[in-house]
């Protein structure tokens, strides 16, 4: 194993607020009303969150994938100082990656905009640069930690040198796998599962736990 240090970020409710990555596709495709209805049915227990994602994916049908990067900073609401934090961590020798259950196309745009070292996300089908409305492979409940394990194996990174940053239940396997974890703007499901907890609108606050 190498001495490489790694910070793994979740996306929805961790780095971006209010408009999640799956919802983002629907907003770009002028399907906001439809996605709100799906989320209502999800909240009422008609769908699991994964089933809901498959329904939401259909609303992106016909959307040009180029719009994701073009509209990223106009539509999404990132937490403050993401780019500065990524740059600072990299200067201190950390690799920074993004792992989300949302569309990998949104994860790729975020990776390019914020200068991350890598990304993982659910594989939404693209044909002729447009979304088809289908999900080829969804990361699901356990997929995030499998993605991290793949990255660590590829670069021979010890899990003890990894820091997971997330907000919800799907991040708990990452918290358990990594040597350190930070629950940011966290849900009740994470209480007792992370190393540190913080409520903030400024990502710079996590540096207090990482850079001593």
Q: What's 44's domain CATH number? A: 3.40.50.1000
* CA pair distance 20, 200, nearest whole angstrom: 18
Beta strands in 74-169 (DSSP E): 77-78, 94-103, 118-127, 130-137, 162-166
- Note the pLDDT of residue 2: 66
Q: Does 209 score more than 90 pLDDT?
A: yes
Cβ neighbours for 33, distance < 8 A, ≥ 6 positions apart: none
* CA pair distance 98, 96, nearest whole angstrom: 7
* Mean pLDDT confidence for 127-153: 95
Would you give the DSSP letter of residue 30? T
Looking at the structure of the chain, the number of domains it has is 1
Tokens standing for 54? 């498959």
Q: For the residues of 122-149, what is the DSSP string, one character each?
A: EEEEEETTEEEEEEEE--TTTHHHHHHH
* CA pair distance 206, 27, nearest whole angstrom: 30
- Note the pLDDT of residue 4: 80
* Mean pLDDT confidence for 89-94: 96
Q: Does 181 score more than 80 pLDDT?
A: yes
In the structure, what pLDDT confidence band is assigned to residue 41 with cuts at 50, 70 and 90? very high
Q: What is the pLDDT of residues 103-136, one digit of tens each?
A: 999 999 999 999 999 999 999 999 999 999 999 9
What domain range is 202 assigned to? 5-210
Q: Does 1 score more than 80 pLDDT?
A: no
């Amino acid at each position: 194993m190498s001495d490489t240090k790694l910070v793994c970020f979740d996306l929805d409710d961790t780095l971006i607020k209010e408009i999640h990555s799956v919802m983002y596709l629907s907003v770009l495709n002028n399907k906001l009303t439809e996605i709100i209805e799906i989320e209502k049915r999800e909240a009422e227990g008609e769908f699991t969150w994964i089933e809901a994602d498959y329904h939401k994916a259909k609303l992106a049908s016909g959307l040009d994938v180029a719009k994701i990067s073009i509209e990223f900073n106009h539509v999404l609401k990132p937490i403050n100082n993401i780019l500065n934090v990524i740059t600072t961590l990299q200067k201190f020798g950390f690799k920074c990656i993004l792992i989300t259950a949302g569309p990998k196309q949104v994860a790729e745009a975020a990776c390019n905009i914020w200068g991350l070292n890598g990304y993982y996300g659910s594989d939404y089908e693209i044909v002729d640069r447009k979304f088809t409305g289908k999900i080829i492979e969804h990361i699901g409940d356990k997929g995030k930690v499998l993605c991290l394990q793949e990255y660590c194996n590829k670069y021979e990174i010890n899990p003890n040198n990894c820091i997971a940053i997330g907000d919800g239940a799907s991040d708990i396997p990452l918290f358990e796998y990594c040597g350190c974890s930070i629950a940011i703007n966290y849900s009740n499901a994470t209480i007792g599962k992370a190393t540190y907890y913080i409520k903030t609108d400024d990502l710079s606050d996590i540096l207090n736990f990482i850079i001593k």
